[in-house]
Amino acid sequence: MANDSKTWRCRKYELSFDRPRIMGVLNVTPDSFSDGGEHFDQDAAIEYGLAMLDAGADIIDVGGESTRPGFTPVNPDEEARRVLPVVRALAKEGAIVSIDTRHVAVAKAAVRCGASIVNDVTGFTDPKMVEFVKTSTCGVIVMHAGEVAAPARTHATVQLDTSAAAFVAEKAREAAAEAAREAEKPARRRRGKLLGEPKAEAKLPGGVVQPSLPFGEPEPAPEPVDEPETPAAEQATAAETVAPAPEAASESNDHLAAMMRRSARREEAYVPTSQLRRFTLPDSAPIMRRVMGFLSDQARTLIHAGVSRDRICIDPGPGFGKTANEDIVIQRETAKMASLGYPLMCAVSRKRFVGAVSGVTEAAARDAATFGVCLGAIQAGANIVRVHDVTGFAQFLNGYWAVAKPQPRRAFVAVGSNLGHRCDNIRAARDMIAEIPLTCVSNCSRIYESEPAYETRQDAFANAVIEIKTELAPLVLLDELMKIEAELGRDRSKKAKVNGPRTIDLDLLWMDGEIHGGKKLRLPHPLIGERDFVLVPLEDLMHDPARFFRYNGVEVKEPEDRVGHIVGELGRM
């Protein structure tokens, strides 16, 4: 019930979660960890994105910068050059497009080109990114990216009175030096008795005289007490920061890249220690406090900035600055993350920890193991699954959902014919629709006669709308409707005239809770609002269909501006 109540508003789209949504991964990069270079060509990327939509993807996540372990940062201009044509082409086909970027300029340009979601791997820790999304209506994905995701905490500096502060500091230094000298005298005497006279004293920088140790290695000089100490984490980050390549991001200190380089080295150099543990996994409490605390804090930051709650999705960021053990702990706590109330993403596809638990070394061969991890997340409350193999996962999910989740949904199918016995063709189609698995016919409009639309030099049509209940996924239902068309003699070959005469025409108009884009299927059907031969029969099945579809984002024209006007009634179904 909690899953059913969540919605995600992404510009003009509103996604419901009565079933899990599939996000297809489209990397327009030469170096992504499992499919680098496969879709680097823009035309190939567009074609692959459309293919994922036709295979069952609800969202396409387009990225132009690989964030795999050890990645090289990409200049925002280069990233934009890679992704913007792809975003524009997919959005034109009605797709819900997510832009996977950490750069504000790229996010802005992608949204202008039609992207509906901003997927920020750094979790909106950049105030400029927050400033942008608060002025937009796009959906946002807050991801936890390990240590880089935690915003630095700033503390107010206190200015003391200089004379008093200097006096106190000087006295403290003198007291510390005197205590150190007193403590050293007994130790020096003991070393002298045991080892003989000490070697010559060594002079250190600053004129400090330091006694030599027995093996001739001087002790390190003490740190000056009045100089701030650099934290070890900052030293490590500074040591690992490299100068960017010409095509790399302009920032000389890329914290995300440094963190992923450390993560890669840690995985490659990992060897089991002899330290004994009582449990196979680390304690989940500190891990989940860190991950859920960050996700909650960043979501609240966005809400306080003016981003409405129903636009926010959260992602624990598997593989980003986390060990395999930590990733498993996080996945097992999916229900806790879902309880935060935001749509929850499972983005584990082909990740290293999936390989660790399945024993599969090659990333591209981890899809079956990915499906298993995703299934566990779905059962625990995950709403969106981000995968590389959309075709395989859609089949996997459809099979699981049909058995595990009885869920009849209302849908409308438009039926038309202008060849042969038109009314008999429509009734035959109705009977065949009733035989589709997991589907029943619940109501039918009357049969109307209409003027031909688009191609006017042909006979008048008989039209009707059939209301059904179905448990099939939209694309599976569409395939069944196409089979009925073929059985009743519909010619859909390339030689057939577009919008020409036909024995039967079946259009899936609308399905409860479904939004879809692509070449194969668009939901809601984009031409409902201009077709009189669809809207008039729908009035037999619902109150005010024009208002209903306007509410669902469809532009509905006035009756005089429509095509295929109804001219008469031919009887009941």
Question: Which CATH number belongs to the domain containing residue 95 in this structure?
Answer: 3.20.20.20
Answer with the one of 357, 388, 404 that is the final residue of a domain.
404
Answer yes or no: do 391 and 418 share one domain.
Answer: no
175-192 pLDDT tens trace: 777 776 666 665 555 554
Other CB atoms within 10 Å distance of the CB of residue 11: 17
Q: What is the pTM of this model?
A: 0.78
Query: Residue 178: inside a domain, yes or no?
Result: no
Query: Residue 326: inside a domain, yes or no?
Result: yes
Domain at 522, CATH number: 3.30.70.560
The percentage of residues in the chain with a pLDDT greater than 90, rounded to a whole number, is: 67
Place of tokens 């660790």: 356
Answer yes or no: do 424 and 558 share one domain.
Answer: yes
Answer with the one of 356, 384, 404 that is the final residue of a domain.
404
Q: Are 46 and 73 a contacting pair, CB within 8 Å?
A: no
Token output for 36: 């680098």
Q: Which of 26-30, 179-183, 210-214 has the highest mean pLDDT?
A: 26-30
Answer with the one of 372, 404, 436 that is the final residue of a domain.
404
352-385 pLDDT tens trace: 999 999 999 999 999 999 999 999 999 999 999 9
Query: Residue 95: inside a domain, yes or no?
Result: yes
Range of the domain at 387: 2-150+276-404
Does position 21 have pLDDT exceeding 60, yes or no? Answer: yes
CA atoms 385, 390, 392, 396: torsion sign: positive
Answer yes or no: do 86 and 26 share one domain.
Answer: yes
Cβ burial of 399 (10 Å; 0-12, 13-18, 19+) is exposed
Per-residue three-class SS string for 367-393: HHHHHHHHHHHHHHCCCEEEECCHHHH
Answer yes or no: do 479 and 567 share one domain.
Answer: yes
Cβ burial of 469 (10 Å; 0-12, 13-18, 19+) is middle
What is the enclosing helix (H) or strand (E) of 163?
helix 162-195
Does position 533 have pLDDT exceeding 90, yes or no? Answer: yes
Answer yes or no: do 549 and 449 share one domain.
Answer: yes
Q: Which of 21-30, 35-44, 473-482 has the highest mean pLDDT?
A: 473-482
Answer yes or no: do 17 and 78 share one domain.
Answer: yes
- The count of domains in the chain is 2
Q: Which of 434, 412, 510, 514 is nearest to 473 (CA)?
A: 514
Answer yes or no: do 371 and 511 share one domain.
Answer: no
Does position 214 have pLDDT exceeding 60, yes or no? Answer: no
Answer yes or no: do 444 and 553 share one domain.
Answer: yes
Answer yes or no: do 496 and 445 share one domain.
Answer: yes
17 compared with 190, residue with greater pLDDT:
17
Answer yes or no: do 387 and 487 share one domain.
Answer: no
Mean pLDDT check: name the lowest of 38-52, 393-407, 469-483: 38-52
Q: Which of 22, 5, 14, 8 is nearest to 400 (CA)?
A: 22
Cα angle: 472, vertex 14, 6; to 5 degrees: 80
Answer yes or no: do 60 and 146 share one domain.
Answer: yes
pLDDT at 2: 45
CA atoms 558, 560, 565, 566: torsion sign: positive
Query: Residue 242: inside a domain, yes or no?
Result: no
For residues 26-41, give the mean pLDDT.
67
Answer yes or no: do 340 and 393 share one domain.
Answer: yes
